[in-house]
Amino acid sequence: GIGMVFQHFSLFAAMTVAENIALGMDNPPSGRELSRRIVEVSREYGLALDPGRIVATLSVGERQRIEIVRCLLQNPRLIIMDEPTSVLTPQEVETLFVTLRRLADEGCAILYISHKLEEIRSLCHKATVLRAGRVVATCDPTEETAKSLAEMMIGTTLNVPSRSEQALGDPILEVGGLDLPREEQFDTDLQNVTFSVHAGEIFGIAGVAGNGQDELMGALIGERLANTRDAIRVRGTDVGHVGPRGRRRQGMCFIPEERLGHAAVPDMALWENAVLSAFERQSLGSAGFINAGAASKYSRDVVSSFDVRTAGVEHAARSLSGGNLQKFVVGREVLQAPDVLIASQPTWGVDANAAAAIHQALIDLARGGAAVVVVSQDLDELMAISTRIAVIAGGRISEARPVSEVTVEALGLEMGGHASPDAAGAAASHEAAHD
């Protein structure tokens, strides 16, 4: 009687909807009967699904419907949902909430796990707050604010990032006509990606997972080389043809999405992980030899500046909690004072106070004249810290607009592959101004 919808979908992309649902059932009916029941249940709850569609051809929102329908086919009395909206557009979130409210009205209990506090306030009848694995509060979320809920979570006053308007400098990072074919069958082709980021700017890139963010990050940080050397330029210097080390020498630093294994080596000490990216910029050695003392000092500076909870910099990266490791990775890059910082999901998995501290560090870095690119699925995050925002969908990037001229709803439409009226109007005005 218990169903589970995981944050990361447990689906096989090369199989059909019906085949994936059958895999999650103890005694699935015959193929024809299962398809009939899928159509029946999906229509009843407004979760349209074609049992014969290959999962790889579906949007992320449609894939989540598979997980929910698979639960519903087993008539659960309790559904547990772990961060169910992390990969959905705002419009898809509202559709999901309609379904969940109906299920609750029909007597199904729903345990909804999320760090998105406005969603908790909108959807839930009761909220339980956990901190360090312990229950610290139970409340009616409709009687709380997002700020008060966050303060229950962290046990202290929430620090809100402060930013001020400032004149932007010249473009530092320029990406023009970037095309990158997919490497795997279900990857996304990058098509004519073009944008520029100025000194003093935080450039936000929004999008639903699987629309080319990973491929764009790979191209920007040099793990995949661009189609032409001038497709990516830093302060007028072509870097499209050089790898991560060459780009670091040009003043770039990187915060990849996957912290354990990509941003940090799990079994290496924190000070050793600092050497991996800061060896040259922080003079942590010379002639190929590591200066362990300098590396340890730099690591301790990161730990101190970003409030990383650790027993010491000699301990392995895997010994840190996810949030503390994320703070270490962000601090390791930010304290190098790069000209360009590329960050993907910079506050993923950290508490509200740590997220605010990371946001402030990015704002301060831009205020000091750096060009900062933040790739994120969290629209609230992008709206809070970005100067301009663009949307990536299907491997293409939209025209960037000032954050003051966009709404979450308009961004959600673009993320779903639909041009919003605001965007269309802005584009028409832009073209008219140049006629």
CA–CA dist 51, 49 (Å, integer): 6
One pLDDT digit (tens) per residue for the chain, 435 residues? 898 888 767 899 899 999 999 998 888 889 899 999 999 998 888 788 899 999 988 877 788 889 888 988 888 899 999 888 776 778 878 888 998 999 999 999 999 998 888 899 999 999 999 987 899 999 999 999 988 998 998 888 877 787 778 889 999 999 999 999 988 777 889 999 999 999 999 999 999 877 899 899 999 999 999 999 999 999 999 999 999 999 999 999 999 988 888 899 999 999 999 999 999 999 999 888 999 999 999 999 999 999 999 999 999 999 998 888 999 999 999 999 999 999 999 987 777 888 888 999 999 999 999 999 999 988 989 999 999 999 999 999 999 999 999 998 889 888 877 665 444 444 444 444 444
Nearest CA among 6, 87, 103, 8 for reference residue 47: 103
Query: What pTM does this model have?
Result: 0.80
- pLDDT at residue number 419: 62
Measure the CA angle with vertex 327, ends 344 and 279; round to 5°. Answer: 85
CA–CA dist 348, 143 (Å, integer): 27
Structural domains of the chain in order of their starting residue, each with its CATH number: 2-114 (3.40.50.300), 171-433 (3.40.50.300)
Measure the CA angle with vertex 268, ends 267 and 272; round to 5°. Answer: 170
- pLDDT at residue number 426: 43
Joined tokens for residue 144:
């709380």
- pLDDT at residue number 429: 43
Nearest CA among 63, 77, 92, 54 for reference residue 3: 77
